[in-house]
Structure 1
Amino acid sequence: MTESVKSGQGATARASSFAPLRQSVFAVLWAATVLGNIGSFMRDVASAWLVTDLSASPTAVALIQAAATLPVFLLAIPAGVLSDILDRRRLLIFVQLMLAGVSGVLLVLSHTGTLTVEYLIALTFLGGVGAALMGPTWQSIVPELVPREELKSAVALNSLGINIARSIGPAAGGLILASFGAAVTYGADVLSYALVIAALIWWKRPAAVDSGLSENFLGAFRAGVRYTRASRELHRVLLRAAVFFLFASSVWALLPLVARQMLGGTASFYGVLLGAVGAGAIAGALVMPRLRERLDADGLVLLASVITAAVMAALVFAPPKWLAVLLLLLLGVGWIIALTTLNGVAQSILPNWVRARGLAVYLTVFNGAMAAGSLGWGLVAHQIGVPATLVAGAAGLVVAALLLHRARLPAGEQDLQPSNHWPEPLVTEPIANDRGPVMIQVEYRIRKEDRPGFLEAMKRLSLERRRDGAYAWGLTEHTSDPERVMEWFLVESWAEHLRQHHRVSHADADLQNEALRFHIGPGKPEVHHFLSL
């Protein structure tokens, strides 16, 4: 839910929070996606439980978790690029058909008794490929479904829908698994995909307009990588996310063994535990506004780390089942605090033109940490046991959170809307978009005594140039006139430089003004464009 709903403000705020559901297309796709996610959670419960029947090895159990998250680590960035250059509706339909096929094969194998650990891991990996394609694509269509003023509410409703699915799907999956078996559970998942496909077919998405500056896959991929490499703020978010999820993954990787071996539970109890995490996440979303009033982003991540570590430590003592459910509710609170805080900061520092690719990098780090952590903690548990591994994960999480607390997360308050203040480059005749590379030169006049301040400002500006499209950058001085300083940067094509014109934000303009205040020339610095012959 949105801030206004969670903080208990008036009826008007509540109505505004659910306003996107008045848009029929958004409402249908939102409901279908909730049902689809419920089915996915049911499938995951069945797979996680079946592997404990097929093998008692903690490594095999952890491999299932790793197989589900590794594809997102490997494919999130390509998926983010694809969501920008392909028809998103058709891509989503293809992904749903693929996921339905995976669950259909699991249904047949489990019904015939031919399912093995190897088959289960391989099919879980294919399901992870579908999830990798689904995530950034679904996020990128939301602005198409609602008015701009309702976008934040729509994003919040998506988060609510995922947690609704998380609270219902695992419990329902565990109940169906215990009552009717794995084949019926997988069949229910196939049916959920059929409903999502029907909703996507019903949606008549308008054809995209070709602006003439559309990116191809490799060019868009390179642009996303360049932005990520040059964004120091994004680096801090990625570091904090990687460390948190690496240690917190231990409880997710070992939870089936905790439920079965330490707590003596059945498949339905395991589903109840996962459902409790989802319910706790919903409760956490409701208290987030009050927490934000008292804590900044760094404080919230520290709080989430302490809560998660406390739950892990408490599970070591094999508490009664009712207490374990309460602990998993608390785990859901800590989990949603970390997820919403880190994801929210990542979104706040990404401009619109690279948002999907930047979030894809974030998802890559998130799932990579989960996959590596799941596999690593499974191997550790094989050597020292599940309880000792949970203690090690909890201690590591708290220590890492305290050590990294000083690596402050960015505030995310900069104006990242395009400034459009760059004048169109002067050309004598039309230039082919694919021609390049292009060298841009900007000539300044800088007093000798102002040189240190100018260089410091240009150091910050160089990161902006690289984020927006430059693959090389430098500063030179004239040999006979040291006050003449030339900034140069290289862009791979003319089209990419024209895109660069539209990417420069108001925050970037402020960086440029910091450098311009040292310029002593009679007018603005001269700008020259050179094309490779």
Structure 2
Amino acid sequence: MPSKPPDSPWAPLAARVFRALWIAQLVSNVGSWMQTVGAQWLLLGDSAALVTLVQTASSLPVVLLALPSGVIADRFDRRSVLLVAQFAMVAASGALAVLAFTGALTPAVLLALTFLLGCGTALMGPAWQAIQPELVERGQLGQAAALGAVNMNLARAVGPALGGAVVAAAGAGWVFAFNAASYLGTAAVLLVWRRPRAAIPAAGHEGLMAALHAGRRYVWNAPGVRRVLLRTLLFIPGGAALWALLPLTASRTLALGSGGYGLLLAAVGAGAVAGAFALPRIRRLLGANATLAAGASLFAGVLAALATVRTPWPAVIALLAAGLAWIGVLSTLNAAVQTRLPAWARARGLAVYLLVFQGGQALAAPLWGAVADGLGQRACLLIAAALMLLSAASVRRWPLHDADRINPAPSAHWPAPPLVFDPGEADGPVLVCVVHRVPAHHRAEFVDRMRHVQGSRRRTGALTWGLFQDGNEPERFIETYLVASWAEHLAQHDVRLTATDRAHEERARELLAPGTAPEVTHAFDTSSGPALPEGQNRSVH
């Protein structure tokens, strides 16, 4: 059979391991949606707030574990991390099935085991995203991400309807049992896959907390990533209202059973699958920011429609549009964060994105449930629609930054610092001083350009940063920044700098006095280690 063209949306499926994992994940995702239907349906006799807690129990673990999971995925064998997550989720789903079959499944136990399943998902998320470059060619990563979205939404189209039918015919215990078995397929593929040894990171000497802080510093000092997180935070609360209140809309407003609820969720999934194939053309026509505004506006219209309809078929049509809007916004945001993260911090940056995305849903869902109990479901949906319209309007004020200005490709352009002694990796903190000589007519512009260099230093490890002008020699500017350890500074030299960092440095150095170059010194804190040998240490970055 001829291979798929490189630009085909299906091209990554030609890779054997990716194809096997994609199929296994489709089965697993179907099981997860079946379980969601079973869990929510078991609680429909209780309050709206209790029903919405199913979503909170699934999402809250990401708030607690996303950042540690990102560190683990960046530091240890991701295949092993994924296997641990799979078997943990088999155990939790199996316990749900046994308790449901024996009639011992209480709401508290149901929510607790759902929370444990969410912990497995939180552990798996960053590692799963980070192994994609090992499974497909670099030029196919965009198609691989799109196929991941298709996978999830195919499952959303099939799983809820299948879950509703199984619950109606045989009870919730069987959907829990199927979900437990569904994880075994992914585990089997991972067990067979022999990951190249070179791809397995060495743990090194960077502690877990140091790695956690390094990832946090990068995200906090990366304006492009921060803007993606802001746009996510502005979209998710209104979007969470749909998922939190849809079971109540199905049962109370539309008088549907579990099968009808599954049909509503299937409509969302079908709309999202259609949207996945239409999205490249939509983004070419509108651009990323207009796609975000259009998606939020369309989603607001869906929420308003659900507040007014009283029959199933108009709701189904509205939910098809919801699926299109949902995948349009979230795939745009996901692509944006992927293209703005360097390889060394990718899993940790994705963990922060997942934290905002899932955490926003976890916090918003019970609030919507409380509002629905207090003001009524119709008023709750209209409030959520208003929030979505505000999200759409805010795109003009806070758009995504132009991706062309951000190049996260690695750039090891600093030479190794020549020292007169060999410091240990844990030695520090290290004070780095860089002397720049700038002519008078360039000084104001130099200071302005160095603001971007400050961001680069802080993203890659600087705890503090300063730029000082010599009072005796006004053309002499002294840049200082403090790094926690020698290992952190070596990481700046070896793996953390990007093409964007290099461009900022070069733009600043264009303004230096002709024939001069930055003079760099490294100073070690003598209170935390042995005194250094005599002699100067001077190098050029």
The bucket for the TM-score relative to the shorter chain is over 0.9
- Contact 2:163–2:262 (Cα < 8 Å) also in 1: yes
CA gap of 1:516–1:154, structure 2 versus 1, over 3 A, is same
Alignment of 1:284-433 (within 5 A): 284-413=275-404, 414-433=406-425
Cα distance, 1:221 vs structure 2: 0.6
* 1:523 pairs with one of 516, 528, 531: 516
Q: What SS is found at the alignment partner of 1:157?
A: helix
Q: What SS is found at the alignment partner of 1:528?
A: strand
> What is the aligned partner in structure 2 of residue 440 from structure 1?
432
Q: What SS is found at the alignment partner of 1:405?
A: coil
CA distance, structure 2, for counterparts of residue 153 and residue 393 of structure 1: 32
- Contact 2:146–2:276 (Cα < 8 Å) also in 1: no
Cα distance, 1:159 vs structure 2: 2.1
CA distance, structure 2, for counterparts of residue 216 and residue 168 of structure 1: 43
CA distance, structure 2, for counterparts of residue 171 and residue 374 of structure 1: 22
CA distance, structure 2, for counterparts of residue 109 and residue 12 of structure 1: 47
**TM-score after normalising by structure 1:** 0.94
CA distance, structure 2, for counterparts of residue 217 and residue 267 of structure 1: 45
Q: Residue type matched to 1:423 in 2? A: P
> What is the aligned partner in structure 1 of residue 67 from structure 2?
77
1:182 counterpart = 2:175: no
> What is the aligned partner in structure 1 of residue 19 from structure 2?
27
> What is the aligned partner in structure 2 of residue 512 from structure 1?
505
Cα distance, 1:156 vs structure 2: 2.5
Cα distance, 1:516 vs structure 2: 1.0
Q: State the Cα deviation string for residues 427-459 of structure 1 (Å, max 9, x = none).
A: 233332222111111101123443221111111
> What is the aligned partner in structure 1 of residue 485 from structure 2?
493
* 2:212 pairs with one of 221, 246, 256: 221
CA distance, structure 1, for counterparts of residue 13 and residue 156 of structure 2: 20
CA distance, structure 1, for counterparts of residue 486 and residue 303 of structure 2: 54
CA distance, structure 2, for counterparts of residue 211 and residue 456 of structure 1: 39
Q: Residue type matched to 1:165 in 2? A: A
Contiguous gaps of at least 5 residues in structure 1? 1-9
Q: Residue type matched to 1:526 in 2? A: E
CA gap of 1:513–1:74, structure 2 versus 1, over 3 A, is same
Q: What SS is found at the alignment partner of 2:412?
A: coil
Q: State the Cα deviation string for residues 194-214 of structure 1 (Å, max 9, x = none).
A: 222222212222335666856
CA gap of 1:106–1:204, structure 2 versus 1, over 3 A, is same
* 2:229 pairs with one of 220, 235, 238: 238
Q: What SS is found at the alignment partner of 1:510?
A: helix
> What is the aligned partner in structure 1 of residue 254 from structure 2?
263
Q: What SS is found at the alignment partner of 2:414?
A: coil
CA distance, structure 1, for counterparts of residue 329 and residue 10 of structure 2: 24
- Contact 2:275–2:324 (Cα < 8 Å) also in 1: yes
- Contact 1:73–1:366 (Cα < 8 Å) also in 2: no
CA distance, structure 2, for counterparts of residue 319 and residue 386 of structure 1: 13
CA gap of 1:403–1:91, structure 2 versus 1, over 3 A, is closer
CA gap of 1:293–1:21, structure 2 versus 1, over 3 A, is closer
CA gap of 1:506–1:175, structure 2 versus 1, over 3 A, is same
Q: What SS is found at the alignment partner of 2:482?
A: strand
CA distance, structure 1, for counterparts of residue 412 and residue 490 of structure 2: 11
Q: State the Cα deviation string for residues 310-333 of structure 1 (Å, max 9, x = none).
A: 111111123421222121111100
Cα distance, 1:464 vs structure 2: 0.9
Alignment of 1:49-64 (within 5 A): 49-53=41-45, 55=46, 57-64=47-54
Q: What SS is found at the alignment partner of 2:194?
A: coil
CA distance, structure 2, for counterparts of residue 340 and residue 193 of structure 1: 25
- Contact 1:443–1:525 (Cα < 8 Å) also in 2: yes
> Which segment is superposed worse, 269-278 or 449-458?
449-458
> Which segment is superposed worse, 301-310 or 403-412?
403-412
Q: What SS is found at the alignment partner of 2:43?
A: helix
CA distance, structure 2, for counterparts of residue 314 and residue 478 of structure 1: 65
Q: Residue type matched to 2:337 in 1? A: A
CA gap of 1:146–1:290, structure 2 versus 1, over 3 A, is closer
CA gap of 1:356–1:409, structure 2 versus 1, over 3 A, is same
- Contact 2:430–2:522 (Cα < 8 Å) also in 1: yes
Cα distance, 1:426 vs structure 2: 0.7
- Contact 1:85–1:216 (Cα < 8 Å) also in 2: no
- Contact 2:275–2:323 (Cα < 8 Å) also in 1: yes
Q: Residue type matched to 1:378 in 2? A: G
Cα distance, 1:244 vs structure 2: 0.7
Q: State the Cα deviation string for residues 348-406 of structure 1 (Å, max 9, x = none).
A: 21122212111111111111211121111111111101111001110121023213432
Percent identity at matched positions?
A: 41
Q: State the Cα deviation string for residues 189-239 of structure 1 (Å, max 9, x = none).
A: 111112222222122223356668564322211110111111122222111
Q: State the Cα deviation string for residues 148-187 of structure 1 (Å, max 9, x = none).
A: 3333332322222222222111111111111111111111
> Which segment is superposed worse, 396-405 or 354-363?
396-405
Q: State the Cα deviation string for residues 74-110 of structure 1 (Å, max 9, x = none).
A: 2111111111112211211111111111111111221
CA distance, structure 2, for counterparts of residue 310 and residue 70 of structure 1: 28
Contiguous gaps of at least 5 residues in structure 2? 527-541
- Contact 2:5–2:11 (Cα < 8 Å) also in 1: no
Q: Residue type matched to 1:373 in 2? A: A
- Contact 2:205–2:425 (Cα < 8 Å) also in 1: no
> What is the aligned partner in structure 1 of residue 152 from structure 2?
162
> What is the aligned partner in structure 1 of residue 464 from structure 2?
472
1:272 counterpart = 2:263: yes
CA distance, structure 1, for counterparts of residue 505 and residue 144 of structure 2: 35
Q: What SS is found at the alignment partner of 1:406?
A: coil
CA distance, structure 1, for counterparts of residue 106 and residue 23 of structure 2: 34
- Contact 2:26–2:155 (Cα < 8 Å) also in 1: yes
CA distance, structure 2, for counterparts of residue 214 and residue 159 of structure 1: 36
CA distance, structure 2, for counterparts of residue 235 and residue 309 of structure 1: 24
- Contact 1:345–1:410 (Cα < 8 Å) also in 2: no
Alignment of 1:1-12 (within 5 A): none
> What is the aligned partner in structure 1 of residue 37 from structure 2?
45
CA distance, structure 2, for counterparts of residue 13 and residue 210 of structure 1: 32
CA gap of 1:248–1:16, structure 2 versus 1, over 3 A, is closer
CA distance, structure 2, for counterparts of residue 403 and residue 186 of structure 1: 41
CA gap of 1:296–1:329, structure 2 versus 1, over 3 A, is same
CA distance, structure 2, for counterparts of residue 490 and residue 459 of structure 1: 16
